[in-house]
Amino acid sequence: MEYLQSLEYLYSRIGQGIKLGLEGISSLLEEVGNPQRSYPVVLVGGTNGKGSVVAALSSILSFAGLKVGVYTSPHLVTVRERIAILEKGRRRIIPPVAFSALVERVKKSIVKDSFKYSPTFFEYLTAMAYLYFSQRNVDIAIMEVGLGGRLDATNVVNSVLSVITSISFDHKEYLGETLREIAREKAGIIKAKTPVISGCNGSTGEVIKEKCRECSSPLYSLGKDFRVIYFRENLKFSEIGMQGLKQVYTLKTYLLGEYQKYNLPLAVASAEVLSSLFPLINKESICQGIGGTRWPGRMEVVRHRPLIIMDGAHNPRAAQMLAREIEKKKKFKPGRITLIFGVLKEKEREEIMKILFPIVDEVRVVSPRSSRAVPAHILQKEGLCYNENIRVYSEPEESLKNLPSDSTTFVAGSLYLVGEMRKYILKLRGDRNYERV
């Protein structure tokens, strides 16, 4: 199967929608030999910060000399970003040839008359990831949970560690109407007598504690068992002082945003726990790993003049964190603030608009290229009560034109939008990475 054919076939499965449950993915993995059993796995769940924690933890482990499989979602430019191998800080996404071969391998299993399940797009990719990591003989895989936890396709392993970042409202139609209900679903990745790293507090933290007691699983919580001592940042890098589970660290990171003081300590504590399995994980590899972490599309500066910063901020909690960054930027760099905004239909867009629109000078609304995108003219109509200066752009890229050189522009609301805009700017900069599909 040629690469473009494999993409077309894989994307045809988006019509399967979302199917929460483990029976189908378990059957599929059994058909391909249960590759997920051939290496240790860390599951990273939560609402916000999952990707940053996965990126930082995998970077740390790679600097400790490990070959690390990394599975994340969604992607920004190419679907192949979701499946990668990290070694010595260098990230290699799955090549087109290997990607096509895996699509074909999984397809052979599901077209059998004896196989009665039709996997979703996410289940198909998850099976491909587990299979690829087995083929590449990784030392460990770090898997970002997709939706929820208990019934998510990644949750088919006896993980050696479960990490739960923060929990807030998202996907209520699948996970529940209250934070406790959502937390119970997220806590479903906790395994019996297996350590848990948690960034949760309040009612969600209590749910995590209850689940850990039920499973006799040791729990290490941010703010209790490890903590941030100080946090400093400028427009180029951040510095975090923290008391870990074992040592005190001074961490320098190029991941911007105050919210990283909640994410990166989770990665550090996770690495400390994993050092019992991999003794080469030490203070040096932890500091190197944090310094070498890159995670595009999250408070990422993609252009300096005019200053353009991209951040997904696709739910109310993430929008609140972005709002703090916008207010700080007003102090660091006075000048006009523009927000380029697009969102998908299932997101709580009114809450996000209520948080972000009033604090910027201008809003440029667009529709991400997705069948699930909210039309830009609807965003304008709904957002006028929060900001009177809203303009509609028919093409997302058009919204980047005619920005004052001394202004600051934030692109937010959807990682799909961030991916499109990032690809466009890479093209303008002459970076050939934009050509990947």
Q: What is the length of the chain? A: 437
- What's the average model confidence in pLDDT over 290-300? 93
Spatial CB neighbours of 98, under 8 Å, sequence gap ≥ 6:
132
* CA atoms of 48 and 52, how far apart (whole Å): 9
Q: How many CB atoms lie within 10 A of CB 339?
A: 27
Q: With contact defined as beta carbons under 8 Å apart, do 66 and 140 qualify? A: yes
Q: How does pLDDT run across 151-175, given as a tens digit for each residue?
A: 999 999 999 999 999 998 877 777 8
Q: With contact defined as beta carbons under 8 Å apart, do 238 and 231 qualify? A: yes
Identify the pLDDT of residue 437.
61
What are the sequence ranges of the domains in the chain?
A: 3-291, 300-430
- 16-42 burial, b if ≥16 CB within 10 A, otherwise e? eeebeebebbeebbebbeebbeebbbb
- What's the average model confidence in pLDDT over 388-400? 95
Q: Is the four-CA dihedral 261, 263, 266, 272 of positive or negative sign? A: negative
CA distances in angstroms from 384 to 326, 350, 390, 395, 421, listed in the order given: 20, 11, 7, 20, 24
Q: With contact defined as beta carbons under 8 Å apart, do 342 and 373 qualify? A: yes
Higher-scoring residue by pLDDT: 341, 77: 341
Q: With contact defined as beta carbons under 8 Å apart, do 37 and 166 qualify? A: no
pLDDT band at 119 (very low <50, low <70, confident <90, very high): very high
Q: With contact defined as beta carbons under 8 Å apart, do 329 and 408 qualify? A: yes
Residue 434, pLDDT above cutoff 70: no
Q: With contact defined as beta carbons under 8 Å apart, do 141 and 69 qualify? A: yes
Report the SS3 class of residue 181: helix
Residue 321, pLDDT above cutoff 60: yes
Helix residue spans in 216-257 (DSSP H): none
CA distances in angstroms from 399 to 75, 88, 391, 392, 395, listed in the order given: 22, 38, 9, 8, 7
* CA atoms of 113 and 378, how far apart (whole Å): 46
Q: How does pLDDT run across 326-345, given as a tens digit for each residue?
A: 998 888 777 899 999 999 98
Pick from 374, 419, 373: nearest CA to 397: 419
pLDDT band at 145 (very low <50, low <70, confident <90, very high): very high
Higher-scoring residue by pLDDT: 379, 429: 379
Q: Give the lowest-confidence range in 129-133, 186-190, 335-339.
A: 335-339
The whole-model pTM stands at 0.92
Domain 300-430 belongs to what topology? Protein-Tyrosine Phosphatase; Chain A (3.90.190)
Residue with token string 């074909």: 104
CATH code for 3-291?
Answer: 3.40.1190.10
* CA atoms of 352 and 211, how far apart (whole Å): 31
Q: How does pLDDT run across 22-39, given as a tens digit for each residue?
A: 999 999 999 999 999 999
